[in-house]
Structure 1
Amino acid sequence: MKKIAIDAMGGDHAPESIIEGVLRAQKEMPDVEFILYGNQDKIKPFLPETYSPQIKIVHTTEEVTGDDEPVRAIRTKKDASMVRAATAVKDGEADAVMSLGNTGALLAAGIFIVGRIKGITRPALMPTLPVSNSSDGFTLLDAGANATSKPEYLVQWAQMANFYAQKVRGIANPRIALLNNGSESDKGDDLHQSVYQLLTGQADINFVGNIEANEVLTGKADIVVSDGFTGNALLKTIEGTAETLLSLLKDGLLNSGLKVKLGAVMVKPALKNVMVRFDTSKYGGAALMGLKAPVVKAHGRADARAVYYTLKQIEQMLAQNLTATIVEQFEQK
């Protein structure tokens, strides 16, 4: 039985949304044990009086907050739910970690507790985002784990994302593109020009060239590789734009008079299709690629449904032995 260590105290709606997501996932994953790390007095009220033996509680007395300095929190809060969950993986008591908490702290826990795969220089944060022409979406990395990058980092990230797309997303020959400020091969600064040449020389990946930011949501690539600074800016721009547009649309439909409300009823099916297409919850969380075990970060505002899909994502990563594949590829180099 596979075991997922869950930081039950991380996120805006913890532990309620986390436990609701676990209860849903538990019904569909009979071969997975869910270990909830956190304050048992806060966890138990959200569990049924009699719950499945698949769910375990490990009581902890500390929490990593959003205001904590990441590395300091990991080193000093030894009984924090996030730290205990990561330590369980290090000690072989669990196979993967999930948290909705402090991203920097989870990255630090992944590097310093779970550990990097030998041969991987820097881990990368990789969410999956929607596209306009399919339900498959695209993965983006690095989305903010590294403030500065070197060409070899991006090549390793592309290779790891290639394995993820094949094994977890079921894409046989994923298209990999480099985020740049133009489509031509000589565009960008020295970093991006060097990466372009290196990716062109990789025979084992399907590199399709540069992609500009205005094209990433069109489905031209299954994987978009970026330096961490730019990738994080792109991720926040997409999230912010989507939230703003949806808010404006909702306000316009509800507060522009009776005729607009009647029109909204007529276009409701089309609007629903758009919402389904750009539903980010179904893609799960952002995986920290390059660690010795799956470490996945769900959004801090994630609801029970998003938690459920993140657990499904982790189950698939474990079932496909993704980490073992990456280890085999990189440790032999």
Structure 2
Amino acid sequence: MSAEAKVSVASLPIALDAAGGDNGVAPNVEGAVLAARAGVSVLLVGERVALHAELGKYPGSAALPLEIVDAPDVIGMDEHAAGVRSRSGASINVCTRLVKDGRAAAAVSMGHSGATMASALLTFGRIKGVERPAILTHLPARGGMTTLLDAGANADVKASSYAQWARLATVYLKVLEDHDNPTVGLLSIGEEDHKGSALVIEAHALLRALHGKGINFHGNVEGRDIFLGTTDIVVTDGFTGNVVLKLAEGEARVMFGWIRDALNSGLKSRLGGLLVRGSLRGLADRMDPSTYGASILIGVRGLAFIGHGSANATAVKNALLRASRAHEGKLLPRLEVAFGEGAAPLVGTEA
């Protein structure tokens, strides 16, 4: 289900770090206005005067479910995430406290990803039974999308982390994508059970033992399978996952550059380009990261979504809609149930 889908007004607003990101308040405020028009209530967190000035550019915004919450400080994109601990007035810390205090349903930030992860972990803590939260993201694939995690939160992991992430992602897809029994693949260098590092082989055995116990384990998958849609979910460590994510984004930009150059290479090519413009625009939309808006930090006891620093208003809007749907679908309580009493134990040894 696309994040574009219209939603009803949530019982709680979404807290948006309106000061975060490469481009300041402008795309955050515009995205919040678009989300509010779609029915999502938003708390704009940042420097009050700047946000009022930006919001004033949108006629009728006073009638929308938008509220400004003052935050005098912001952790810049070039600053260290460790500043989260000492800067209580930073916009991302204000956002996560609003969630913790029950005044907001979720926190969304296009700002410093490390600071967002640190703030969410420090403020919310972890779901019982989850050792390390992961960044869950989506990549375009044949027939739809592939859900990938971890996309950058944990470079060094245990075998048990793969199993925990598989279960988290399974529940996530059931709640947000209406997927009854998503398949899980373990990223490796070959499909055979014995392929991969010692850690991957150990994780494979653990996932295989948990097949049918809340996890629908397909087996090992290779890098190409991510884009073929071989499985609905692919689990890997955060170092590899982040490389995959950045490689996919970079390749998409290069590919569209090649297509643009080819279609502008001569008169016949330009005429042909006019004929396929609509199809290419649809393809570009499918590969646009703004479609899903932001990636969830899954495994913490609160809803936190992390977007690109260069996010545009569309990405901000879709992130807010996705966060609202996660809250309305009771994602967090369902994740906690999945790791509660009676669930199959997810155990492993240190990597």
Q: Distance in 1 between matches of 2:54 and 2:261?
A: 34
Q: Answer yes or no: is the 8 Å Cα contact 1:154–1:195 preserved in 2.
A: yes
Give the letter aligned to residue 51 of structure 1: A
Counterpart selection for 2:68 from 46, 50, 57: 57
User: Match of 1:239, as an amino acid?
Assistant: E
**Displacement of 1:46 after TM fit?**
2.2
Residue 129 of structure 1: SS of its match in structure 2?
A: strand
Aligned pair count reads 327
Tell me the distance in 2 between the aligned counterparts of 1:142 and 1:9: 26
Structural mapping, 1:35-46, within 5 Å: 35-46=43-54
The yes-or-no answer on 1:125 pairing with 2:135 is yes
1:296–1:314 CA contact under 8 A, matched in 2: yes
- Please give the residue correspondences for 1:8-87 in structure 2 after superposition, counting only pairs within 5 Å: 8-29=18-39, 32-47=40-55, 48=58, 51-52=62-63, 54-71=65-82, 73-87=83-97
- CA distance in 1: counterparts of 2:79 and 2:254, whole angstroms: 29
TM-score when normalising by structure 1: 0.94
CA distance in 2, matches of 1:131, 1:281: 16
Counterpart amino acid of residue 37 in structure 1: V
Matches within 5 A, 1:315-326: 315-326=324-335
Taking every aligned residue pair, what percent have the same amino acid on both sides? 35
Quick check: 2:135–2:150 contact (8 Å CA) kept in 1? yes
Cross-structure match for 1:162: 170
Distance across 1 between alignment mates of 2:320 and 2:108: 8
Provide, for residues 65-84 of structure 1, a one-character-per-residue CA deviation record: whole Å limited to 9, x for no partner: 1111112x101221111111
Return the offset for 1:53: 5.4
Q: Within 2, Cα distance between the matches of 1:261 and 1:53?
A: 44
Q: Is contact 1:131–1:218 with CA below 8 Å preserved after alignment?
A: yes
After superposition, the C-alpha distances for 1:164-199 in whole angstroms (9 at most, x for unaligned) are: 011111111101111111110000011100111111
Runs of 4+ off more than 4 Å: none
Structure 1: tracts of 5 or more residues without a match: none
Q: TM-score, normalised by structure 2?
A: 0.89
Segments of 5+ residues of structure 2 without an aligned counterpart are 1-10, 344-351
SS of the aligned residue for 2:13 comes to: strand
Secondary structure of the residue that 1:42 maps to in structure 2? helix
Correspondence for 1:237 among 247, 264, 268:
247
Indicate conservation of the 8 Å contact 2:14/2:42, yes or no: yes
| Correspondent of 1:257 among 243, 259, 266 | 266
C-alpha separation in 1, matches of 2:77 and 2:290? 22
Compute the RMSD of aligned alpha carbons: 1.5
